[in-house]
Amino acid sequence: MCGIAGFVNFQGHQREGAQTLVKQMTDSIRHRGPDAEGFFVDNYAALGHRRLAIIDLASGQQPMSTVDGRLHIVFNGEIYNFLELRSELEAKGHRFQTKSDTEAILHAYREWGADCPSRLNGMFAFAIWDSETKNLFLARDRVGKKPLYYTVNNGSLFFGSELKAIRAAGQLPATLDPEALDCYFALGYIPAPLTIFREFRKLPPASTLICRAEGMREARYWWLRFGETVEERSIETATDEFLHIFDETVRCRLMSEVPLGAFLSGGLDSSLVVASMAAGMTMPVLTNSIGFGDPRYNELPAARLIAGHLHAKHSEYTVNPEIVGVLDHIAWHFDEPFADSSAVPTWYVCQMARQNVTVVLSGDGGDEGFGGYTFRYLPHLWESRIREAIPAMLRGPLFGAVGACYPGSAKIPQPLRLKTIFENLAVSDAEAFYRDLIFLREDDRASLYSADLIASLKGFTPYELVRPWYTAGAKSDPLARSQQTDVAFYMTEDVLVKVDRMSMAHALEVRSPLLDHRNLEFAARLPAALKIAGKKGKVLLRNAARRRLPPEVLDLPKKGFSVPAANWLRNELRPLAEEFIFRRDSLLRNLLREAPLLRLWGEHQTGTKDHSVTLWGLMMFGLWEKKHY
């Protein structure tokens, strides 16, 4: 696990100046790799690397070059099948100089060229410079666990693990992108390929970028299609097959030359991971859990129960967050505005775990792959069945009129969501799911946005980015379509961004077995009944857990990795939020209208309504501006 940065100037550059510049870039992301630094510079390219040493501590330094001096790589991540790749490549005549997974990528590229990422099982972002053909090859892993940013300016291409690495190169143009702003205010994050700045881009997951003097070419090498091929089978047969795949994906992630453990939240997914680790390790698993004083946000008792059942060496921490101070650090590590308040507990669990281990396994991916988000999926499935039964020409006008007239009130019980249901029934499955995915809908944003921001959008809406993913799924299965969209958007652009930035802030490597492409492809082939049945989600995972976990934890209510944000914004965080949301010289003053902002603020402070998600996002935007703009 590391940080990478670099650039290519196809007109050529002076080596001494290039060396200084690439060091500036890697210095800005030292937190991602505190163990070592390294550079490669020739007349056209400069590659930089910050290392967090995990495998082949003695000879795995980067940048790494082939013996003939033609290919040069900087790499962030881990390749779990590198030993198998090495054996295959040695049989083809390749000769290795180290025991590192980095060298396996170099030889794979030499053997298979741009097809090499499809041969890799792992999390990765890497750049390979071919000094003979003057090609730069960039690649990112299948689901986007590792980030990769880039920009093109005056014939040069700059890239880096974080936006701050590229911006450290100097005065590159950086103007706010209205479409990215709209995505942020709607979703709470900015999806690839957009970034907060118009001139910068994220390489999407499962993608490669070939850069030559004559231009660039982006390609995608992997697609996950939920519901496209469904394999009917019994629950027990499916569980057997899943556990066989799952145990292998856990086993290959146990390779490490530094202390390794696991996050244990008390939830189903992380508990299954720890159970598999315990079965495959000779030493007790080092588990790490955190809790808050408020029992609504505390899963320590469940985690303690599971750790005892699995004979883990358990460490737990009760956190009393210094919330004002920690938000300042969090905003710095997110180069773009990021509104997910669960970044706070993620920051703390990474900080605490790093005291014991350098590598942890996590349960990320279980909800998206195996149907865990029942609070969204169940209403969507029910609404979809009604849409099928009523012709659109009747459904749209009928439910549209009822939804427009039905009062919206904080006093209506949330499970009924009646106004939302009526409004959703008036539109297509795709648009209804999009409405459930965002937290500020078009009409709310239109009332909040300034006239200038509305004009700059030129009719753009984030729905344009979401719709292709939803409609690409199996037409007969709204659950498959929902999962496919969640993997592409919420998981990749929120959950994985959060985990990467908060873990790398503490030089901690996080590995996620449930996000192995073999588990995801298996989940994509499962029938809906093995994911959601009645009001229960993750049907197959629950059945797997019955074989390995104590029965007391199987039906615990889902708490999520959340914080009391609404209460904080009325108390500890009120001065900070008020300062950054209403500051006279802030960007928000030009982007948003003051009157609706004051209304949201007043309703939240009096307890009339809970606007914590929106207000948290606006506060974090202000903190981002302070740190990065």
211 and 127 in a common domain: yes
**10 Å Cβ neighbour count for 552?**
11
Residue 284: left (phi > 0), alpha (psi -120 to 50), or beta?
Answer: beta
Q: For 449-492, what is each residue's pLDDT tens digit?
A: 999 999 999 999 999 999 999 998 777 899 999 999 999 999 99
Do 215 and 142 share a structural domain?
yes
Share of the chain above pLDDT 90, in %: 78
Q: Are the beta carbons of 506 and 351 closer than 8 angstroms?
A: yes
Domain check: are 204 and 272 in the same one? no
Domain boundary among 186, 220, 254: 220
Q: How many Å apart are CA 26 and CA 5, to the nearest integer?
A: 6
Whether 344 maps to a domain, the answer reads no
Residue 2: φ, ψ to 5°: -155, -175
- Residue length, the chain? 629
Query: Are 400 and 434 members of one domain?
Result: yes
CATH code of residue 543: 3.40.50
Q: What pLDDT is stored for residue 190 in this prediction? A: 98
Same domain, 245 and 172: no
- Distances in whole angstroms, Cα of residue 108 to Cα of each of 85, 87, 142, 255: 8, 11, 17, 20
The pair of structure tokens assigned to 129 is: 């410079």
For residue 294, is pLDDT > 70?
A: no
Q: Are residues 135 and 243 in the same domain?
A: no
Across 581-585, average pLDDT:
92
The values of phi and psi at residue 330, to 5°, are -60, -45
Inter-CA distances, 12 with 205, 297, 443, Å: 30, 55, 50
- For the segment 178-189, the average pLDDT, to the nearest whole number, is 98
Same domain, 243 and 197: no
Q: How many CB atoms lie within 10 A of CB 414?
A: 8
Helix (H, G, I), strand (E, B) or coil at 428: coil
pLDDT tens column, 92-111: 999 999 999 999 999 999 99
Across 341-487, the runs of DSSP E, i.e. the strands, are: 359-361
Distance CA 479, CA 532 (A): 9
Residue 586 resides in a domain:
no
- Alpha helix stretches (DSSP H) within 177-299: 178-187, 235-251, 268-280
C-alpha torsion sign, points 8, 14, 16, 21? negative
Q: Number of helices and strands (H, E) in the chain?
A: 27, 17
- Are 423 and 480 members of one domain? yes
Q: Which of 68, 51, 57 is nearest to 98 (CA)?
A: 57
Q: Residue 28: inside a domain, yes or no?
A: yes
Confidence check: pLDDT of 570 > 70 = yes
Cα separation, 310 vs 76, in Å, equals 32
Are residues 261 and 128 part of one domain? no
Distance CA 408, CA 283 (A): 56
Residues facing residue 360 across a β-bridge: 261, 510
* Model confidence at 413: pLDDT above 60: no
Distance CA(560)–CA(537), nearest Å, equals 14
| Three-state SS letters, 534-558 | CCECCHHHHHHHHHHCCHHHCCCCC
Catalytic amino acids?
A: 2
Question: For residue 81, is it within any domain?
Answer: yes
Of 91, 18, 100, 14, the closest CA to residue 64 belongs to: 100
End of a domain among 176, 202, 220? Answer: 220
Neighbours of 533 (CB within 10 A): 13
Indicate the DSSP class of residue 592. Answer: B
Give per-residue pLDDT as tens, 129-164. 999 999 999 999 999 999 999 999 988 999 999 999
Between residues 250 and 399, the one the model is more confident about: 250
Is there a single domain that holds both residue 160 and residue 247? no
Bridge partners of 315?
Answer: 288
Least confidently predicted of 213-227, 372-386, 559-573, 595-609:
559-573
How distant, in Å, are the alpha carbons of 433, 441, 493, 621 from that of 461? 14, 10, 17, 19
Residue 290 belongs to some domain of the structure: no
Q: Is residue 352 part of a domain?
A: no
Q: Report the CATH number that the domain containing residue 9 is assigned in CATH.
A: 3.60.20.10
**pTM for the predicted model, two decimal places:** 0.94
Q: Which amino acid is at 492?
A: T
Percent with pLDDT over 70 in the chain: 94
Domain stop point among 556, 577, 597: 556
- For 211, the 3-state DSSP assignment is strand
> pLDDT tens-digit profile of 333-357?
999 999 999 999 999 999 999 999 9
- pLDDT above 50 (res 243): yes
User: What pLDDT sits at residue 415?
Assistant: 42
Residues 130, 270 share a domain: no
Q: For 513-565, write each residue's pLDDT tens digit.
A: 999 999 999 999 999 999 999 989 999 999 999 999 988 777 766 655 678 89
Confidence at residue 411, expressed as pLDDT on a 0 to 100 scale: 42
Q: Which distant-in-sequence residues (6+ apart) come within 8 Å of 531 by Cβ?
A: 370, 371, 479, 483, 523, 537, 538, 539, 540
Ramachandran angles phi, psi of 145, nearest 5°? -70, -30
Mean pLDDT computed over 373-380: 93
Residue 522 sits at the vertex; the CA angle it makes with 521 and 528, to the nearest 5 degrees, is 105
Asked whether residue 331 is domain-assigned, the answer is no
**Nearest by Cα to 263 from 552, 56, 57, 498:** 498
- Structural domain boundaries, residue 208: 2-220
The number of domains in the chain is 2
Give residue-wise pLDDT tens across range 40-84: 999 999 999 998 877 767 677 899 999 999 999 999 999 999 999
Structural domain contains residue 467? yes
pLDDT of residue 205: 98
**Pair (148, 258) in one structural domain:** no
